Structure 1
Amino acid sequence: MIDPKKFEDFGARLSAALAASPAVDIEKNARAMLGGFFARLDLVTREEFDIQAQVLARTREKLKALEARIDALEKPPAGQP
């Protein structure tokens, strides 16, 4: 059976090799490039989106309430044709 200690040692060596490899630089460069690309797209953050969704929900509730008030005001009083 293979000793688990050897797996841990192999994992540690692999992590150390990857940390010293150009893969780390490639990842940093890719992140920077994608960050610049997304910045030019004029996107909103998730937090800004959630805030606007809440504002829209409150506005829809107010609109429903106002529509109900208008409907009640436009109804003829009871007993009148």
Structure 2
Amino acid sequence: MDAKKIEDIARQINDSIPAGVKDFAGSLEQRIKTILQQQLGKLDVVTREEIDVQQQLLLRLRQRVEHLEHELEAMKKED
């Protein structure tokens, strides 16, 4: 996951914490970022770019299979 997104999430969590709690834990945002990075590192996630690449590969494969199916149909008709 993008470091900027993790920072944004940590900032949003930090912003939702009451002022008294923020004063008590000045490094809370950094702690949250560290915990988020550790936990997200355990997840098996892919980037949007990786998904897009896989979708393009799948589309090309699907088109190739359809082309081969049509060729096979044509060959069967010739027999």
Smaller-chain TM-score range?
A: 0.5 to 0.7
Moved segments of 4+, more than 3 Å: 20-25
Percent identity, aligned pairs only? 36
Where does structure 1 lack aligned partners over 5 or more consecutive residues? 1-16
- What's the Cα RMSD here? 2.5
Scaled by the length of structure 1, what TM-score is found? 0.56
Match of 1:68 in 2: 70
Match of 1:28 in 2: 30
Cα distance in 2, alignment partners of residues 24 and 47 from structure 1: 36
Give the length in aligned residue pairs.
Answer: 59
Q: Higher RCO, 1 or 2 (CA under 8 Å, sep at least 6)?
A: 2
Consecutive unaligned residues in structure 2, runs of 5 or more: 1-18
TM-score (norm 2): 0.58
